[in-house]
Amino acid sequence: MSLWVRLCAPWEATVAVRVSSEARGADVRAALTPWLGHADVRLTTRGGQPVYAHAHVVADMDLVVRARFCGGKGGFGNMLRAQGGRMSARGKHESQDSCRDLQGRRVGSVKQAQLLAEYVAQASERQAAWDEAQKRKYAKLERMLGRAPKSMADYETAAEKLDEAGETLEEEAAQPSTSKRERLDDHDYVEQSREIVDHVRGAVASAMRKKRRKGKERAA
């Protein structure tokens, strides 16, 4: 029977060989000796399936001769593993926000939604902290005056005392008085504190300008 065999480089040819009907892969290899000599090659089908020496062949079978190459020391495998390790390490530091989850949502959008939900949930805590800070500032102002401020002159007096003491209104009182603690839940007191703090800031700025003018006049 006849078989068509395509040879690899450097022969680059397709030849027809005749073998017996009971031929095996070893017989086909022997029939190719005039072209290949004793070259180290392997015989496969066109689909790449190996044809072993003991395997039977059939008529009109298309075979391919492929060259054998010596294997390396695994250098490519090592490089592949090293590159995979670098990509894995780099992925820990790179942003994945542009990726999508199993529901098709952007990871970055999910993170932003979570942060927004946390921010909204903590709104009452932030408001309480701000109210507490305002009340402490007002308590400090009352402590500097020895009474509750009633006019702009009181604000300027408090500003001068704060400046002389080297303090600012933004500094929180370390231990607010008991009378102020009793009014922590008083909404009107909180609103009054806000208004007074706004007024006293302007008074502080005015007092500082006056002090600078006096200093310049004395220097002159």
Report the pLDDT value the prediction gives residue 107, as an integer from 0 to 100: 84
Amino acid 19 reads V
98 compared with 199, residue with greater pLDDT: 98
Report the pLDDT value the prediction gives residue 52, as an integer from 0 to 100: 84
Distance CA 18, CA 40 (A): 21
Report the pLDDT value the prediction gives residue 183, as an integer from 0 to 100: 44
Q: What would the mean pLDDT of 107-126 be, rounded to a whole number?
A: 88
Q: Determine phi and psi for 102, rounding to 5 degrees.
A: -65, -20
Who contacts 189 (Cβ-Cβ below 8 Å, separation ≥6)?
135, 183
Q: Determine phi and psi for 16, rounding to 5 degrees.
A: -110, 130
Flag whether pLDDT at 150 surpasses 70. Answer: no
CATH architecture, domain defined by 2-67: Roll (3.10)
Confidence of residue 181 (pLDDT cuts 50, 70, 90): very low
Report the pLDDT value the prediction gives residue 9, as an integer from 0 to 100: 73
Q: Give the whole-number percent of the chain exceeding pLDDT 90.
A: 0
Report the pLDDT value the prediction gives residue 161, as an integer from 0 to 100: 65
Q: What would the mean pLDDT of 108-113 be, rounded to a whole number?
A: 88
Q: Which DSSP letter does residue 184 get?
A: T
Cβ pair 160, 127 in contact under 8 A: no
pLDDT digits (tens, 9 = 90+) for 13-56: 788 788 887 888 888 888 888 777 777 788 888 888 888 888 88
Domain boundaries, the chain: 2-67, 75-121, 124-219
Q: What would the mean pLDDT of 133-148 be, rounded to a whole number?
A: 72
